[in-house]
Amino acid sequence: MYGLDEILPDVLNAMYGLDEMPVIRLEETVWLACQEYFVLDQEDGRLRDLWRREAARDLGRMFDVLSDLGAVELTRGPADPLYTSDLDHDDQLLPPDAVERLRTALAEPDLPLARLTPLGVGGVRERLLAEGRDASLLGELATAPPAELLGVLAQHYPPEDAVAELRGWLARPGQDLERLLQAVRDCPFRTRAGAMLRVLADSLPSERRLLHDLCHDPVLGPVVWTQLIDVGELEPGSLSERENLLMGAESFLSVLELAGA
């Protein structure tokens, strides 16, 4: 497929820092990118399907070569819920037909999966650094204090790397979600606390459910309400008079931090 060689770096970047990734998820993003290289008749659905299947086959052959070179590990199994959690987002970049194909395919229990080996991770990281891009070494925050972990993830990590780093941190004994939430509660700066909570919510498979569960938290409540209102999942009119006062105080504190007295 024309253009696949130019798309390959982006494919490897997407895999960087993640565990087994469903190949079907990469097929759809590759097909979306490939369409920039040629014009297809929108009315000829059979031709479009043919080219899409060709792009998928080329991607599969590319993974076979990378596997032979030791840069990619190919397995089979169910998809992590992470890869279906964003299909209903309003800012979804994939077209509706691709979303429906993914929704059906990702429900299957035995899917082709791909992940970078340590050799592949090292190669991708070296290239990213050479391009002047941030490429955190995943796992380096595995024992970091909770506040440091969330602060660094919020400021320096792209979303997919933040997910992987957070999973690694939570996998260690004694490091759990409550410790991370307490770090957000203990943060004296409201804007920073909001950023820490946002990256935590966005990096968990349950995503917004965490925020809804925290609506009645005596410390985090105003931060949670602000974020839920921003994404349209909470109506300001549903808040009580006391909650509206707390929201106002939260807003004034944030302005004070950003602009000063």
pLDDT of the residue at 63: 94
pLDDT of the residue at 95: 85
**What residue ranges of the chain have pLDDT lower than 70?**
1-4, 17, 37-45, 91, 134-138, 205-208
The rounded distance, in Å, linking the Cα atoms of 13 and 8 is 9
Token duo for residue 257 = 């931090």
- Which CA distances in Å does 15 have to 8, 55, 60, 72, 131? 11, 18, 15, 10, 17
How is residue 120 annotated by DSSP? H
The rounded distance, in Å, linking the Cα atoms of 55 and 59 is 6
137 contacts: CB under 8 Å, gap ≥ 6: 125
pLDDT of the residue at 196: 93
pLDDT of the residue at 145: 92
Stated pTM of the model: 0.54
pLDDT of the residue at 38: 65
In a 3-state reduction of DSSP, which class is residue 85? coil
Token duo for residue 199 = 């990256």
pLDDT of the residue at 150: 92
Please name every residue paired with 116 in a beta bridge, in sequence order, or none if there are none: 72
